[in-house]
């Protein structure tokens, strides 16, 4: 194979100025991914196609297919813009992959070259393949093997693999957000989905120390590290806030059933302040409707009241069931068997499923919430990860 063909999807739907800007950002992200892997490469852009040449075609494919905005990649053979060269390359490639008894299809496309149609090109190549091996069968609907041929004025492209990318929008096209990250399964998936829609993510985690079951800090750092592999060449920041003083006061409250709601409201207050201070435009959470007591519609409304109106809360998983989150976590590499073992000793036996704002505010009046928020903000520690590796503590 001579090059890698890169496909992008919904960027085509944008206006021309927006599309140009998004493609420029996509190309910058592709270069960062390739530089992070130490690849030698050369990039060409022509009429909606990105072509990358280099010595390590498989390495280029592996790097680029993890870049947000990339729908798919294909290792391909390049030929001169001559019909005979294009046909020869396609027939030779197909016959090297086919065996007697297999079915095949040719998917041909012409752009820029004159004198024939896309359908004629496909028919010619298909006939040559059929004549080149006994026992083959043409099946355009469900073939065992497909070969794709593009005849363009800059040259021919022949490929038979379509490796999926994450799709979405290029990272950095939609502005910065603050994503709440935990050691669990859902929050890293929510962060990944925000990245997939073009958001520059900064992570925020709350360390409950001895109040939390398991090693929350290490689990969170591991999720952060794994997610950094999806934004190569871009340092990923994690802010960690201590919850110890807050928990000490929370457990003294009169109505334990409101603890989870008050805790989530506190987190939203701290997150909103940090987002404001750092110019981050939204918060991202791993909430899934009805999954736990604090994620009922009634309780989410009470929780969100504590936020900052101009900083929206994005919930990418709001309609996901748990299995969907688990499957996506496995696919993106953030699933860990230990992730579901972590708990919180502050959770009451019978949490409220439909708290009222008035009742929660009465409970908060005894806690000096603003003082606790200021204390939490002063406890921030920062960690950075780059290309799937932790860089250390600041």
Q: What is the pLDDT of residues 190-230, one digit of tens each?
A: 999 999 999 999 999 998 877 776 678 889 999 999 999 99
- Residue 341 belongs to domain spanning: 176-393
User: What CATH number is associated with residue 100?
Assistant: 3.30.2130.30
Same domain, 83 and 182: no
* Same domain for 211 and 276: yes
Q: Are residues 187 and 318 in the same domain?
A: yes
Same domain? 117 vs 213: no
85 in the same domain as 220: no
Claim to verify: residue 222 and residue 350 sit in the same structural domain: yes
Q: What percent of the chain has pLDDT over 90?
A: 81
Over residues 33-58, mean pLDDT: 92
136 domain-assigned = yes
Final residue in a domain of this structure, among 117, 142, 164: 164
pLDDT in tens, 294-310: 999 999 999 999 999 99
Same domain (yes/no): 227, 339: yes
User: How many distinct structural domains can be found in the chain?
Assistant: 2
Residue 131 and residue 204 in one domain: no
What's residue 394's pLDDT? Answer: 47
> In this predicted structure, what is the pLDDT of residue 338?
58
Least confident segment among 58-67, 87-96, 194-203, 293-302:
293-302
Tokens 């609907």 belong to 141
46 and 96 assigned to the same domain = yes
Residues 17 and 52 in one domain: yes
The pairing of beta strand 313-314 with beta strand 283-284: parallel
* Last-in-domain residue among 138, 164, 190: 164
Question: pTM score, two decimals?
Answer: 0.92
Are residue 110 and residue 183 in the same domain, yes or no?
A: no
Question: Among residues 123, 138, 164, which one ends one of the domains?
Answer: 164
């Amino acid at each position: 194979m001579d090059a890698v063909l890169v496909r992008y999807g919904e960027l085509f739907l944008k206006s021309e100025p927006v599309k140009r800007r998004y493609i420029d950002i996509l190309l910058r992200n592709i270069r960062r991914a390739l530089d992070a892997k130490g690849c030698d490469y050369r990039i060409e852009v022509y009429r909606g196609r990105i072509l990358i040449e280099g010595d390590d075609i498989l390495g280029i494919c592996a790097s680029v297919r993890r870049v947000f905005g990339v729908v798919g990649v294909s290792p391909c053979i390049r030929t001169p813009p001559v019909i005979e060269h294009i046909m020869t390359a396609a027939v030779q490639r197909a016959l090297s992959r086919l065996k007697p008894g297999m079915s095949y299809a040719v998917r041909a496309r012409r752009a820029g070259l004159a004198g024939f149609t896309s359908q004629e090109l496909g028919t010619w190549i298909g006939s040559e393949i059929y004549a080149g091996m006994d026992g083959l069968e043409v099946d355009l609907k469900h073939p065992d093997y497909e070969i794709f041929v593009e005849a363009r004025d800059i040259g021919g492209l022949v490929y038979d693999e379509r490796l999926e990318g994450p799709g979405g929008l290029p990272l950095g096209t939609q502005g910065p957000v603050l994503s709440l990250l935990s050691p669990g399964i859902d929050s890293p998936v929510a962060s990944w989905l925000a990245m997939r829609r073009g958001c520059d993510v900064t992570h925020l985690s709350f360390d409950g120390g001895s109040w939390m079951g398991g090693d929350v800090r290490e689990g969170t750092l591991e999720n952060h590290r794994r997610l950094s592999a999806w934004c190569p060449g871009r340092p990923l920041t994690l802010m960690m806030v201590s919850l110890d003083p807050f928990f000490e006061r929370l457990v003294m409250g009169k109505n334990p059933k409101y603890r989870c709601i008050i805790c989530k409201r506190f987190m939203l207050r701290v997150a909103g302040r940090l987002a404001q201070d750092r110019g981050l435009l939204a918060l991202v959470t791993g909430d899934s409707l009805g999954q736990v007591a604090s994620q009922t519609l009634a309780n989410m409304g009470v929780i969100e009241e504590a936020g900052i109106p101009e900083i929206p809360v994005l919930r990418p998983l709001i309609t996901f069931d748990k299995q969907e989150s688990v499957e996506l976590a496995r696919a993106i590499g953030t699933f860990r068997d230990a992730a579901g073992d972590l708990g919180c000793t502050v959770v009451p036996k019978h949490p409220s499923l439909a708290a009222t704002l008035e009742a929660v505010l009465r409970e908060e009046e005894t806690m000096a919430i603003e003082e606790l928020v200021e204390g939490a903000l002063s406890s921030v520690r920062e960690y950075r990860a780059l290309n799937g590796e932790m860089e250390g503590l600041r």
